[in-house]
């Protein structure tokens, strides 16, 4: 799946709620992962809780036993908090349960979740069959219509009101899910652990401080990932700085394409490319090859189909530590001023 294949391309046909509930009661054929991991042990006084989002608010009264994730990265936050979802939503790759290698240890001995495929729209009927008592869709592009239908199945937490689709940072996503499952203190703890690790990296790599960095891919010219995108946020977490012009080019979306006439914006101290073809198309780009960033090999090439590429795009509380082990030395090599050492 392309790194840009985030939204559903075919509008879902919203089913009648009565039909959904009848389907759930009929039993269905899906069995794998339906037992979940048992009830969540909520922290004292953490529930009930009311969570505000772009479509209003949702109240969770009791610790959920069966959580479905319709967000593309929400499952990592759940697993980090000891909650095994009964279903996840496929994004990149075909990992069993949509659980990447960076999150596999957190799954423990639990069964792989059912994997939902929303290519042709959210699978409302299948979700209803799973009998969830909580649905989370924070890293998503949920519409009002989809939210209303999901809410008839179970309490549903939608993206925040003040961020674009797929724009929720992993920290806020983790702490929001922590509140939803009754584990706010634990969520803050796991976030703090990752933040401590990032702080140690910044201390060890002063060359990152203030160096300009950008993430791009080839799509309708050059597709630039904006400051709201979690991958860009990770770069700033490491001490790097996004180009000043990025905001005006991308706006408040997670990213946007610019024409090849704007190739000069790519000339940053370090440039990260997300690639699907081993860089073949980029090597044929004669305009890009004239830029100093290309001539001096100040690039980090990321294969979208690799585990690292998938983890990078799925920036989460579990994938960030996995990412930086590989990313940091590659950034350092790209920034060392020696074209012979590349990222």
pLDDT in the model for residue 14: 45
**49 membership: H or E segment, kind and range:** strand 49-53
In the chain, the number of structural domains is 2
Same domain, 222 and 244: yes
Question: Could you tell me if residue 339 is inside a domain?
Answer: no
Question: Could you tell me if residue 76 is inside a domain?
Answer: yes
Q: What CATH number is given to the structural domain containing 76?
A: 3.40.50.1980
Same domain, 61 and 168: yes
Residues of the chain with pLDDT under 70: 1-39, 343
Same domain, 112 and 185: yes
CA dihedral for 317, 322, 325, 328, sign (positive or negative): negative
Q: Is 98 left (phi over 0), alpha (psi -120 to 50) or beta?
A: left
Question: Could you tell me if residue 3 is inside a domain?
Answer: no
Same domain, 175 and 47: yes
* Whole-angstrom distance, CA of residue 240 vs CA of residue 226: 14
pLDDT digits (tens, 9 = 90+) for 254-292: 899 999 989 999 999 999 999 998 888 998 999 999 999
Same domain, 26 and 99: yes
pLDDT in the model for residue 287: 93
Give the domain-ending residue among 136, 165, 191: 191
CA dihedral for 88, 90, 92, 96, sign (positive or negative): positive
pLDDT in the model for residue 330: 97
Question: Could you tell me if residue 197 is inside a domain?
Answer: no
Q: Are strands 134-136 and 222-225 parallel, antiparallel or unpaired?
A: unpaired
Give the domain-ending residue among 140, 161, 191: 191
Question: Could you tell me if residue 103 is inside a domain?
Answer: yes
pLDDT in the model for residue 279: 86
pTM of this structure: 0.88
Same domain, 152 and 228: no
Residue 236 near residue 242 (C-beta atoms within 8 A): yes
Show the domain range for 73: 17-191
Question: Could you tell me if residue 94 is inside a domain?
Answer: yes
Judged by DSSP in three states, 68 sits in strand
């Amino acid at each position: 799946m392309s790194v840009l294949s985030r939204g559903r391309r075919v509008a879902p046909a919203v089913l009648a709620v009565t039909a959904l509930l009848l389907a759930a009661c009929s039993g269905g054929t899906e069995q794998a992962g339906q037992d979940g991991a048992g009830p969540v042990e909520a922290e004292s006084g953490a529930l009930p809780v009311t969570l505000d989002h772009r479509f209003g608010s949702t109240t969770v009264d009791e610790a959920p036993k069966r959580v479905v994730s319709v967000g593309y990265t929400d499952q990592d936050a759940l697993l980090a908090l000891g909650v095994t979802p009964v279903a996840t939503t496929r994004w990149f790759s075909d990992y069993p349960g949509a659980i990447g290698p960076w999150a596999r240890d957190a799954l423990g001995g639990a069964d792989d979740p059912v994997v939902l495929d929303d290519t042709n729209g959210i699978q409302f009927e299948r979700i209803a069959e799973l009998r969830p008592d909580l649905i989370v869709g924070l890293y998503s592009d949920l519409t009002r219509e989809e939210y209303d239908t999901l809410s008839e199945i179970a309490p549903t937490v939608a993206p925040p009101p003040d961020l674009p689709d797929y724009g929720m940072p992993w920290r806020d996503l983790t702490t929001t899910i922590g509140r939803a499952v009754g584990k706010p203190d634990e969520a803050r703890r796991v976030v703090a652990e990752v933040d401590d690790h990032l702080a140690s990296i910044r201390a060890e790599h002063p060359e990152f401080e203030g160096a300009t960095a950008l993430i791009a891919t080839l799509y309708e010219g050059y597709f630039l990932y904006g400051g709201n995108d979690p991958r860009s946020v990770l770069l700033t977490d490491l001490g790097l700085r996004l180009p000043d012009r990025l905001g005006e080019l991308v706006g408040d979306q997670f990213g946007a394409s610019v024409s090849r006439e704007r190739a000069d914006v790519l000339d940053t101290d370090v440039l990260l490319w997300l690639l699907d073809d081993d860089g073949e198309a980029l090597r044929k780009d004669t305009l890009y090859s004239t830029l100093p960033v290309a001539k001096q090999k100040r690039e980090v090439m990321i294969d979208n189909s690799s585990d690292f590429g998938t983890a990078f795009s799925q920036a989460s509380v579990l994938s960030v530590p996995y990412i930086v082990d590989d990313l940091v030395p590659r950034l350092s090599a790209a920034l060392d001023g020696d074209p012979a050492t590349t990222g």
